[in-house]
Structure 1
Amino acid sequence: MSDGSTAPLIDYRGNCHCGAFKFTFKAPALKQAYACNCSFCSKNGYLWAFPATSEDFVVVKGDEDSTLKTYEFGKHTMAHKFCPTCGTSVMARKHSGPGVGINIRALVDVDTATLEVITSDGAATEPPYQIPEPLAAGPVAEGTTVYTGSCHCGAVGYNVQSPEPITVAAACNCSICHRDAAMWIYVKTTAVSFKGLDSLVEYTFGLKRTYHGFCGTCGVAINERFPTADREWRTALNIRTMNGVDLAAIDLELHDGKAKLPVYQV
């Protein structure tokens, strides 16, 4: 997709987290990112960039159709592609005419905090998204708030009983959380119930102290599991997947996971 610019083209490179899929593309220097508020883009926290032309997008490792998995919804005009191993949402391609969108979060050495974000109202143009049937909660203690959520396709769902309303979440800049645009809350594992765990794919790396869970059908990041004895009492949930939560009203605490060792390499 070309924006008609005559500015010099910059070479950008990116990859899914596990490195099974790597690519390059050319575009004018990225100063803006495009976000969409549709049901899928908001769950993924996409920040879009567009190569100067479709030919300026080049796969250097893997294959767009076999290495990546495709998910479609609504009118099925666009194929969203994610890595089925690590869950990184990499790109999307229109079915008709030219048009490749790249998730900026998958790029190497691009500081997304410096980009001006321009939001489009995709929620108004897609067919109305039908929220998957929520997982019913069992007995609820007085004063407890029950939140429900799911991936986009509804294969994986959950509910969580919270002693107080959710107003704060954590945003981590580590190599995987940044790619997932996750907004984490940490709750007691005993307060969460899941359905569809056979559709949940887990991915771990580094010290293998955290298992990142995403839907194997639509690729949406849902939770983090901590298997070590000192941390298994808690579970992290990505509130981007929660029903009825106003993300704009959530206070974000920034965690510098990028500074922790070992250094991410792919």
Structure 2
Amino acid sequence: MATTDAVSLKSTCHCGAISLTVTRMPEMINECQCTICRRYAAAWAYYYSNEIDFQQKGKTKTYVWGDGDLEFHFCETCGCVVYWWRILAGADGIHEVGINSRNMNPMEVLLVERRIQYDTLVGAIRDGSLKHPDDIAKYV
């Protein structure tokens, strides 16, 4: 398991227009298996918005699906998925953010624990009418 000591870790899209810098290693990297993340082949490192320095020389395009609580951001130029952002902030105004660690130097996150979590595969979104056709979760 990797240490969470202070570092400077950068996640940058292919063209360099969107960069995010954090000052600690992620606790783990998750390869979520929900209907969208498995298609992105993203490997998420989780942070809070107040831990991230966003440097955007370009614009992002967004995609929101299902319950509408996560906004996925892509570089408008090269198309890389760079992060997701929980639309509703906590009471303190801080958002949860998943940074795509596949945009990081793989040698810098080599020792971070990797997980493939399947709970989202069968975890129902709140509104079953919004589910993806490949969603196998049980709705009541």
Fold shared per TM-score above 0.5: yes
Kindly indicate whether residue 25 of structure 2 is the aligned counterpart of residue 159 of structure 1.
Answer: no
Alignment of structure 1 residues 50-89 onto 2, 5 Å = none
Number of residues of Structure 1 aligned to a counterpart in Structure 2: 122
Kindly indicate whether residue 29 of structure 2 is the aligned counterpart of residue 169 of structure 1.
Answer: yes
Letter in 1 for 2:83: N
Distance 1:176 1:248, change over 3 A: same
TM-score (norm 1): 0.41
On the 8 A contact 1:186/1:236 being kept in 2, the answer is yes
Max Rg structure: 1
On the 8 A contact 1:169/1:250 being kept in 2, the answer is yes
Alignment of structure 1 residues 178-217 onto 2, 5 Å = 178-196=38-56, 198-217=58-77
TM-score (norm 2): 0.74
Letter in 1 for 2:123: K
Distance 1:197 1:203, change over 3 A: farther
On the 8 A contact 1:214/1:221 being kept in 2, the answer is yes
On the 8 A contact 2:13/2:75 being kept in 1, the answer is yes
- Tell me, in whole angstroms, the C-alpha distance in 2 between the residues paired with 1:173 and 1:243: 23
Kindly indicate whether residue 107 of structure 2 is the aligned counterpart of residue 239 of structure 1.
Answer: no
- Tell me, in whole angstroms, the C-alpha distance in 2 between the residues paired with 1:160 and 1:259: 31
Aligned to 1:259: 122
- Tell me, in whole angstroms, the C-alpha distance in 2 between the residues paired with 1:146 and 1:229: 25
% of aligned pairs identical?
23
On the 8 A contact 1:240/1:247 being kept in 2, the answer is no
Cα RMSD, aligned residues only: 2.3
On the 8 A contact 1:167/1:249 being kept in 2, the answer is no
- Tell me, in whole angstroms, the C-alpha distance in 2 between the residues paired with 1:183 and 1:247: 11
